[in-house]
Amino acid sequence: MPIPLLAEGFGRGVANIPYLWTVAQAAVAIGVVVLLKYYFGGARCRSERVMHGKVVMVTGGTSGIGAEVVNELATRGAQIILLTHHTPSDPFLVDYIEDLRTVTNNELIYAEQVDLSSLHSIRVFATKWVDNAPPRRLDMIILCANIMTPFFSKGQTTMDGLEAEWAVNYLSTFHLLSILSPAIRAQPPDRDVRIIFSTCNSYIGGKLEFKETETATKSGSVSYARSKLAIMAFAYGFQRHLDAYKRPDKQPNNARALIVDPGFSRTPGTRRWLSGGSLWGLLMYLLAWPLWWLVLKSPNQGAQSYLLAAMEAEYARGPGGKLIKECRDYEPLRPEVQNEEVAKRLWEFSEKQIEQLEKEGAVKRALAKKEAEKKDKGKDKTKEDTTAAAPAATTGEEKKPGSGSRRSRKAK
Pairing mode of beta strands 140-143, 193-198: parallel
Determine the Cα–Cα distance for residues 64 and 272; give it in Å rounded to an integer: 12
Confirm whether 359 is a catalytic residue.
no
Choosing from 128, 218, 228, 379, the catalytic residue is: 228
Mapping DSSP to helix (H, G, I), strand (E, B) and coil, where does residue 262 land? coil
Those residues with Cβ within 8 angstroms of residue 234's Cβ, 6 or more apart along the chain or in another chain: 170, 173, 174, 197, 343, 346, 347, 350
Angle made by CA atoms 269, 271, 275, in degrees to the nearest 5: 120
Pairing mode of beta strands 322-325, 55-59: unpaired
Distances (CA, A) of 249 to 27, 179, 188, 298: 65, 22, 9, 45
Determine the Cα–Cα distance for residues 34 and 24; give it in Å rounded to an integer: 15
Mapping DSSP to helix (H, G, I), strand (E, B) and coil, where does residue 143 land? strand
Determine the Cα–Cα distance for residues 355 and 361; give it in Å rounded to an integer: 10
Helices (H), 41-140: 64-75, 91-104, 119-130
Determine the Cα–Cα distance for residues 265 and 299; give it in Å rounded to an integer: 6
Mapping DSSP to helix (H, G, I), strand (E, B) and coil, where does residue 141 land? strand
Q: What is the DSSP letter of 155?
A: P
What is the side-by-side order of every strand in the sheet holding 328-330?
109-113, 79-84, 55-59, 140-143, 193-198, 255-261, 322-325, 328-330
Number of Cβ within 10 Å of residue 397's Cβ equals 6
Q: For helices 64-75 and 91-104, what crossing angle results, to 10°?
A: 40
Determine the Cα–Cα distance for residues 69 and 109; give it in Å rounded to an integer: 13
Pairing mode of beta strands 322-325, 255-261: parallel
Asked if residues 150 and 277 have their Cβ atoms less than 8 Å apart, the reply is yes
Asked if residues 62 and 268 have their Cβ atoms less than 8 Å apart, the reply is no
Those residues with Cβ within 8 angstroms of residue 205's Cβ, 6 or more apart along the chain or in another chain: 225
Determine the Cα–Cα distance for residues 273 and 324; give it in Å rounded to an integer: 24
Q: What is the set of active-site residues?
A: 228
